[in-house]
Amino acid sequence: MRRPGSPCDVAIMGLAGAATLVALLAMVGFAVSLVCYVLYYRLGALPSFVDGCIPLALIGVVSVVIAGCIDFVG
């Protein structure tokens, strides 16, 4: 079921645009996770905990957007 005004609305972006959005979000998520992973071992206890939560929250948001793209495109 397509909902107008969504981030992956086919009428606005097209299939190629939705695929590009998913690929871009995956690359950004990977890069941020890698940076956080490297910093995790250089930080103290509380900062490393916060640093470890950042990739989890980011990938959660990316997953919601990707699920929305699958729902609206497919």
Is 68 among the domain residues?
Answer: yes
Is 46 among the domain residues?
Answer: yes
pLDDT > 90? residue 49:
yes
The Cα–Cα gap between 34 and 57 comes to: 14
Is 47 among the domain residues?
Answer: yes
Is 57 among the domain residues?
Answer: yes
Domain coverage including residue 67: 29-74
The Cα–Cα gap between 34 and 31 comes to: 5
Is 33 among the domain residues?
Answer: yes
Model's pTM, two decimal places? 0.68
Is 8 among the domain residues?
Answer: no
In tens, the pLDDT along 2-26 reads 555 565 555 566 777 778 888 898 8
Q: How many domains does the chain have?
A: 1
Is 13 among the domain residues?
Answer: no
